[in-house]
Structures are given as C-alpha cells and as structure tokens.
Amino acid sequence: MTIAETRAAEDVIGTAISSMGSGNGSPTKIPVYRYISPDFAKVEIEKVFAKAWLVACSVDHVAEAGDYFEYRAGPYSVLIVRGDDGELRAFQNACRHRGNIICEGAGSGITELRCMYHNWTWDLRGRLRQVPSRKGFGTLRNDDLPLLAARVDTWGRIVFVNLDVDAMSLAEYLEGVPEDAAWIDPDVYRCTRVITTTVPANWKVLSEGFSETYHVQCLHQEMLGSIDDINAGQFLWERHGVSKQRYGVPSPRLGRHVDPQVVWDSFIVTQGMRMGINESCPVPELADGQTVQELIADGIRGVLTARGVDVSHLDTDQITTLNQYNLFPNVTVLYNVDSLSVMYALPGASVDESVFTVLHFERTAAADSPRAQPQQHDIPAGMQVFGNVINQDVELLRNAQRGLRQPGLTHLSLSSEECRIINNHRTLERYCGISPSEMTGGPVR
C-alpha cells in the first residue's frame, strides 16, 4: 500500500463523531450484566421481543396465496400466511385445542391451516373450520376459537411482525426511516437467499458489531483504502439510527494524498464483484478531473445496466454510498443501489448464544419483476459463509462474549461515535422499564 503520509489515529475526528456530539464530556457507561445475565435475558424476551416490531422474512417468502413462513424468536413462533384474498396475515403459531404448533418452516400452496395432532383446521384467514368429534366439546362455536392474531406489515420488501396486537403501527414505529430511504426505491429489490447460523455471543454483542464504523480501522484494515470511515455522518431517531458511508474514497486515517491504485485495490478486495471484477488489476487511466470514486460508480452502473436496471438518475455519491440503518432492537439494514442485506440477531439457547440470520436481496428492473422463493441455508456454527468482512466480525465476537464474562469488568465505555449502540440501550431501558437510567456519562453538545 502506497501512502504519502500517515496521521495519528487520535487526531482524526470527522462527522461520524461530530454529528453526534462534541469530543467533550466522558464515555457513556453501559452495565455489562445486560450481556451475561440470564434473568435480564428473560426480561428482554417478555418486554422486548414480545412487544417490538421484528423483521421476520421477505415479501418473496409470502408473495402468493397459500405461501407461509414460520418466524421464531426465542420461545415465540409466528405463522405468516398469504390468504386466498391476497392479504398478508400473521398468527401466534398455536392450535387452540392443545397448543400444538400448526406449521413449521416455510412453504407454498396450502389451502388451510391444519393441526397435525388432532386435525383441527382453520382457513387461511384464521377462522376455525373443522373440529373432529365436535360433540365431545359440548357447545363449541367456530367464532369463539380463531387462531390468535399477531400484527404483520411491510416496509419495502421486508416483512415485520409484532406479537402485541395493541402495538403502534409499523409506519409509526419506523419513524423517519422509510422516508430517508425512499430515494433508493425499496420496492425493486428481490430476496434471493437466506443464511442462518448460531454465534457464541449474546444477541446484542452480535447486533452491535454492525452498529458502528469505529472498528473498521482495526478489524477491517483492507477497507481503509476505499471507505471514509471518519466522515460517515450519523443520525438518530427515537428508536433507530443510520450511518451513511461513502465508498470509493480513502479513509482520512491514511493521509491526504493516497495513490489511486490503493483506493482501487481496496474496493476490488472488498466489493469488486459489484463492478464485475474479482481479481486485482491496475486502476484504469483516469480522465482529466475524474476520481476513482467516479470510475467505481461507472463500473457499478455498467453491471446494473447489463441486468436491465436503470440507475442513470443517481449520482456518484448515491451509487457508492452505503446506507446502514440500525432498527431497534436487533436489525441492521444495509442498502446499496444494487443490493440489500438485512441482518438480525435473536436470543439463542443461552444468554451467551444468538441466532444470526442474513437475508440477501438484489435490485431488479422494476417493482413488478417476477419473484421466486428465496433459498434457505442453515449453516453449522463456525463456518465462514458471509464474505470476508462479515466473517471477520462474527469470528471476533466469539472473543467479545468471553471477555464480558470477566469478573472485574462491570461497565463498557462507549464513544459518541458509537451513538447507535448507546441509543439502542436507551430504547432497551424504556421497553424494559429501567428508570432511572443505569447509563452514565456521554458527550456534551
């Protein structure tokens, strides 16, 4: 790597920090017990995962009448069904007779919801239709025992569920996120595959690994040639946050004069497939006044044009900027103009384990482009299948959970650059009824 100068890491402050507060004040302290206490994990299950809007699947999983998808979060199971009237509905996945699960996994072409224990049957709208040997129950009216409803709604191609039927609407819950992302046209993406695995770390440890860019300068140094991690401006709503990260430009950590070949090589190593390039090569000759970022944007446009996707209305920054939304409690949405990844972490079998799911989407030519059922891949723990950058994150977080178990560590100390994590914990306190706040310190504006 050819770099004209280097700059001391402690001297580099950009909008990733200044957009969230000054360098004054003190670190924000967060209690460690939230990551390791089985008792607190139970509170989260009851007060967060039973009350918040959660990403369940994609619209492509349940696009046609008779499509269904089972969503699991801790002990909870929600059955999402596309009805014969075209409506999307969600139900608590429990038979009203003896509580047996009605459907598992995902599938297509069903015309009814039948419990395999005693043959009780509901239609796709959740209305009871059949009870074998009905006389044995005395007076039993179908209208008295519909499937228990859950809330379901969509943002773009993402399906959300909420077990609390009295919860605020999804539109209210998401605050300004849909409006902020509207220019990307979320409806034109299609889910192609889903990867699920287990990770030996608390769900918050995993989710927080995708909630700040501070770690890029250490863990993902191969990215520094092609990302401005310092000036990745952040914005917080009440529950959610966003970071907008420019690619195709070098990190200010590398100095003021970085060789174009460094920028080009870094982008190819981390994202070259977006330009149709998989191997290192010399940077093409730049026209007068042209930047490597513009060259990369042209490469991405070319790949999309070959797929019939028109992004001629988008400028260079829009083509090369990653819009990273962190949605309470556990979701990271990574919007590029050519692809979308939705990642979420759920509580696992113990407080030291989580279930990690990644939904991969590709941009299509139009909102009415054909759909297909996404491929599901359940991966054994420890296999590296997510690509180099996310693999690095997941591998490191194994050690993060072990460190949290050390008896002398009582609090974490966070920077204002990690404001999306801090905001998530403040929202967590509200859901869990923690008042006054257990968090101390923080920046002074």
Same domain as 339, residue 290: yes
Comparison of pLDDT for 171 and 384, the residue scoring more: 171
What are the tens digits of pLDDT across the range 313-354?
999 999 999 999 999 999 999 999 999 999 999 999 999 999
Domain boundary among 173, 204, 236: 173
Task: Grade residue 385 by pLDDT with cuts at 50, 70 and 90.
Answer: confident
For residue 371, the surrounding DSSP H or E stretch is none
Domain boundary among 147, 173, 199: 173
128: domain CATH number is 2.102.10.10
Assigned domain for 340 exists: yes
Same domain as 65, residue 25: no
Beta-carbon contacts of residue 431 (< 8 Å; ≥ 6 apart) = 47, 48, 51, 52, 329
Q: Give residue 370's pLDDT.
A: 82
| Domain hosting residue 114, numbered range | 54-173
**Alpha-carbon gap, residue 81 to 68, rounded angstroms:** 4
Assigned domain for 1 exists: no
Same domain as 226, residue 136: no
Beta-carbon contacts of residue 16 (< 8 Å; ≥ 6 apart) = 213, 214, 229, 230, 231, 232, 233, 234, 243, 417
Average pLDDT (93-115) is: 97
| pLDDT above 90 (res 408) | yes
**Alpha-carbon gap, residue 104 to 82, rounded angstroms:** 15
Same domain as 312, residue 272: yes
Assigned domain for 4 exists: no
Q: Give residue 367's pLDDT.
A: 80
Average pLDDT (408-427) is: 96
Q: Are 140 and 153 in contact (CB under 8 A)?
A: no
**Alpha-carbon gap, residue 445 to 435, rounded angstroms:** 23
Cα–Cα nearest to 156, from 333, 357, 320: 333
Same domain as 63, residue 41: no
Same domain as 206, residue 69: no
Q: Give residue 354's pLDDT.
A: 97
Assigned domain for 26 exists: yes
Q: Give residue 387's pLDDT.
A: 80
Comparison of pLDDT for 387 and 156, the residue scoring more: 156
Task: Grade residue 269 by pLDDT with cuts at 50, 70 and 90.
Answer: very high
Same domain as 207, residue 155: no
Q: Compute the radius of gyration of the chain from its Cα atoms.
A: 24
Q: Are 125 and 90 in contact (CB under 8 A)?
A: no
Same domain as 186, residue 41: yes
Q: Give residue 383's pLDDT.
A: 77
Overall number of domains in the chain? 2
Assigned domain for 3 exists: no
**Alpha-carbon gap, residue 242 to 184, rounded angstroms:** 14
Task: Grade residue 4 by pLDDT with cuts at 50, 70 and 90.
Answer: very low
Cα–Cα nearest to 373, from 107, 38, 112: 107
Alpha carbon 56 to its chain centroid, in Å, reads: 11
Same domain as 383, residue 253: yes
Residue count of the chain: 445
Domain boundary among 152, 173, 194: 173
Angle at CA of residue 439, ends 438 and 441, nearest 5°: 140
Average pLDDT across the chain, whole number:
92
What are the tens digits of pLDDT across the range 366-379?
888 888 899 999 99
What are the tens digits of pLDDT across the range 207-254?
999 999 999 999 899 999 999 999 988 999 999 999 999 999 999 999
402: domain CATH number is 3.90.380.10
Omega before residue 329 within 30° of 0, cis: yes
Same domain as 58, residue 36: no
Assigned domain for 375 exists: yes
Average pLDDT (292-313) is: 95
What are the tens digits of pLDDT across the range 427-443?
999 999 999 999 999 87
What are the tens digits of pLDDT across the range 35-88?
999 999 999 999 999 999 999 999 999 999 999 999 999 999 999 999 999 999
Q: Give residue 88's pLDDT.
A: 98
Same domain as 357, residue 253: yes
Assigned domain for 16 exists: yes
Assigned domain for 342 exists: yes
Q: How far is CA 252 from CA 3, 15, 258, 324, 400, in A?
A: 11, 12, 9, 20, 28
Same domain as 196, residue 186: yes
| pLDDT above 70 (res 9) | no
